[in-house]
Amino acid sequence: MTDSALAFLDVDSEAARLIAERDWSGSLGPIEGWPVAMRSVVALILRSPIPMVLLWGKDGVLLYNDGYAAFSGDRHPSLLGARVREGWPEIADFNDNILKIGLAGGVLSLKDQELPLKRGGRADSAWMDLDYTPVLGDDGRPGGVLCIVVETTSRVLAQRQMAEAQARLKFLDDLNRATLASRDADEILAVTTRMTAQHMGASVCAYADMDADQDGFTIRGDWAAPGSTSIVGHYSLADFGALAVQELGAGRPLIINDNLKEIAPDEAATFQAIGISATTCMPLVTDGRLTALMAVHHREPHVWTDSELALIREVTERSWANIERVRADAARADSESRYRALFDAIDEGFCIVEFFDGPHGPLSDYIHIEANPAYAKEAGIPDVVGKTLRGMVGAEADAWVARYRPVLITGEPIRFEQELVETGRWLELAAFRIEPPERKQVAVLFKDLTERRRAELALRESEAQFRSLARALPNQVWMAGPDGVSNWFNERVYQYTGAEDGALDRDVWRRLIHPDDWQTATDAWADAVASSQTYLAELRLRRADGVWRWHQSRAVPLLDDQGAVVRWVGSNTDIDDQRAIAEALGDVNAVLEQRVTERTDELMRTQDALRQAQKMEAVGQLTGGIAHDFNNLLAGISGSLELIEKRIGEGRTIGLERYIDGAQGAARRAAALTQRLLAFSRRQTLDPKPTDVNRLISGMEDLIRRSVGPAVTMEVVGAGGLWATRIDPSQLENALLNLCINARDAMAPEG
């Protein structure tokens, strides 16, 4: 090979060196035999910085420059001298068509032609501008095709990415506009799923909430394109396969382009059952827990692009952010509603003030931006909203600024009491800063204490008067709190006990109580405190010299308007002398009682003797009347006996029975008379037995008549149907006789 034949290869180029070194005898033939036009074109190609390639002959043998070598990637240098169909098998049909057109003399110019090229070990789409021009041989006919290659992949991808980004941004903006005004979470998700599926050309877009077990989930809403069905319902991640559990459980998206090819058949069957071949399921993880899912599905297999995945991810995040916004708005609205209701309902005054710089210096004034209805009632100033402090109460503004400005600056809340001089009201106030500090706002809650302070002042004056009175009293006076714990004693107590001022407070004073009285006194005090009843006890208290003296301790509770004990006021009165006098009087009374008893016994004996004398007098009166009767009885008995004796002496016994009966009857009457006299004189023992009272009284009629005398008229009336009475007949006769004699004595002389 002569140097002149290789002159066209005389260029600093790797491709030129490889062409010069290669043995072309098996393909294009020796270089010196190449057509002049061909060598001229190759010389042009080798000297061009633009990727250029010559496809020569019907097989399209490839001759190219360094620029094309870089374009071909790892196919170089084996690609040099190869037939185009074999060098680029993935686009063999495309190049066959190019050769056909070029060798026929045709010219082609392709802009942003997409070709799936395998470079760097992987197949990727590439875009390029391709210009094809036929190259004539020495015979004047096209012998090859010159291709100028300008790769536009980066530009095309950038343009596509920009277009996709613009489309994504427009979609997201449209989605934001469509959901921004919504206040309903379900409505937001319904709009989101519809617009997302339509924008991406998907079959179904759905959203789901995860169960607490992190496996179950509920698809609460979805949008399905025509021809697809809704998949709303409850599912388990495990049903969709190990990949779903693995990826979503780890907080990663589940991405499946073709479930029939990428996952196990039984797992793919779950997707196929709900009409899904390709799916992207984007998880939402909150505080380390899987809480929700958003999924986009295709009925047919679909290769998900990075831009699609990025869009789904962003839609998921934005959707749940919107939902959180809606929930937060609802919570805030509810909070504000409750705040406003509380704000308007509370009895205390409330306001929010905002500080600003004024003529008096930084943060030297504030304006009321809110105030509740109770503000005017408590403070006495109406319509304060929009008014400044110095415009309302200029004379005392500095004092109020001095209170609230430190709260604003330090953030430390305060509580205090202060007079609002403008209205003459004393207020109890609490103030705290409203965050953040940049708002320069302080909230104030207050209530009117004027009446309470007046009452407290009156109470202090009353207590002062009471203490003065207590000091002047000769008694020991003390006070205790509502809990019964002593907290004040007058000077008399300290003088009596010899204790230092204040040394008896709380329960120390109880040590002065005599041990024998301590338990009773303290129990009574505990009962009084528990029941709010008056306390009263007698106990011995130790004097400063150690002498125990009896005191009456008495305390009454002072109650408020609600009946609660405010304090106890008590006194100790020395009753030791009175008790000594009472004990002495007790001894005198005992002597007097004994003497009275003795005199009473003597009187009773005298009365018994009198009654006996009266009885004897009655007996005497009775015997005066009975003597004649008894003589008559004796005469009857004696006469009967004499007649019997005479008849017997005469030998006449017939008819004696009549005289015997007469004597016996007189004897019986005498015996009965004797029995009555014995009963009357109480010498007979009691012998109760059933007695016919009417008959007994009838039998006593003669005796009573004789006892009361002829001057008294007596009538005896028996009770009809009277039952027998179990009684001692003699005692009844005695009692009846006494009653009749007493009745006679009580009558006038004439009866």
User: Quick one: average pLDDT of 288-299?
Assistant: 91
Residue 731 lies in a domain: yes
Residue 287 has pLDDT above 90, yes or no: no
Residue 391 lies in a domain: yes
Residue 437 lies in a domain: yes
Residue 623 lies in a domain: no
Residue 277 has pLDDT above 60, yes or no: yes
Under the banding of pLDDT at 50, 70 and 90, the label for residue 631 is low
Residue that terminates a domain, selected from 547, 574, 601 = 574
pLDDT in tens, 614-625: 556 655 666 665
Of the candidate ranges 227-236, 247-256, 653-662, the one whose mean pLDDT is the lowest: 653-662
Under the banding of pLDDT at 50, 70 and 90, the label for residue 626 is low
Residue 685 has pLDDT above 70, yes or no: no
pLDDT in tens, 571-592: 889 899 888 888 887 766 677 7
Collect all residues with Cβ–Cβ distance below 8 Å to 316 and sequence separation of at least 6: 282, 284, 294
133: three-class secondary structure by DSSP = strand
Q: Can you list the positions of beta strands (E) in 599-661?
A: none
Residue 231 and residue 222 in contact, taking contact as beta carbons nearer than 8 Å: yes
Pair (192, 90) in one structural domain: no
Amino acid 342: pLDDT: 74
What is the spatial distance between Cα 390 and Cα 400, in angstroms, rounded to a whole number? 10
Pair (323, 280) in one structural domain: yes
Residue 1 has pLDDT above 60, yes or no: no
Pair (301, 172) in one structural domain: yes
DSSP-assigned letter for residue 590:
H
Residue that terminates a domain, selected from 281, 300, 329 = 329
Pair (81, 174) in one structural domain: no
DSSP-assigned letter for residue 506:
B
Collect all residues with Cβ–Cβ distance below 8 Å to 675 and sequence separation of at least 6: 684, 730
Pair (315, 214) in one structural domain: yes
Pair (382, 492) in one structural domain: no
Handedness of CA 403, 408, 409, 415 (dihedral sign): positive
pLDDT in tens, 692-733: 989 888 888 877 887 777 888 888 888 888 888 999 887 888
DSSP per position, 533-570: --EEEEEEEE-TTS-EEEEEEEEEEEE-TTS-EEEEEE
Range of the domain at 381: 346-448
> Angle at the Cα of 241 (from 238 to 242), degrees rounded to 5?
90
Amino acid 633: pLDDT: 63
Q: Which structure tokens are listed for 152?
A: 């536009």
Q: Is 450 exposed, middle or buried (0-12, 13-18, 19+ CB in 10 A)?
A: middle
Of the candidate ranges 216-230, 313-327, 586-600, the one whose mean pLDDT is the lowest: 586-600
User: Quick one: average pLDDT of 99-125?
Assistant: 91
pTM above 0.85, yes or no: no
Under the banding of pLDDT at 50, 70 and 90, the label for residue 749 is low
For residue 57, which of 76, 29, 17, 79 has the smallest C-alpha distance?
A: 29
Pair (170, 267) in one structural domain: yes
Pair (493, 395) in one structural domain: no
Higher local confidence (pLDDT), 735 or 225: 225
pLDDT in tens, 665-674: 767 777 766 6
Pair (275, 421) in one structural domain: no
pLDDT in tens, 645-680: 777 877 777 777 777 876 777 677 777 666 666 655
Under the banding of pLDDT at 50, 70 and 90, the label for residue 417 is very high
Amino acid 618: pLDDT: 58
Residue 134 and residue 106 in contact, taking contact as beta carbons nearer than 8 Å: yes
Q: What is the CATH number of the domain that holds 465?
A: 3.30.450.20
Residues pairing with 282 in the sheet: 294
Percent residues over pLDDT 90 in the chain: 47
Q: How high is the mean pLDDT of the chain?
A: 86
User: Rounded to the nearest 5°, which phi and psi values hold at 115?
Assistant: -135, 135
Residue 172 lies in a domain: yes
Amino acid 585: pLDDT: 77
Amino acid 427: pLDDT: 94
Pair (252, 289) in one structural domain: yes
Q: What is the CATH number of the domain that holds 252?
A: 3.30.450.40
Q: How many CB atoms lie within 10 A of CB 530?
A: 9
Handedness of CA 107, 110, 114, 117 (dihedral sign): positive
Residue that terminates a domain, selected from 117, 151, 185 = 151
Pair (261, 359) in one structural domain: no
Residue 189 lies in a domain: yes
Higher local confidence (pLDDT), 337 or 52: 52
Residue 191 has pLDDT above 70, yes or no: yes
CA-to-CA dists, residue 596 to 558, 593, 610, 611, angstroms: 49, 5, 20, 22
DSSP-assigned letter for residue 183:
-
Residue 665 lies in a domain: no
Count the domains in the chain.
5
Residue 625 lies in a domain: no
Pair (196, 294) in one structural domain: yes
pLDDT in tens, 513-559: 999 988 998 899 999 999 999 999 999 999 989 899 999 999 999 88
Amino acid 119: pLDDT: 82
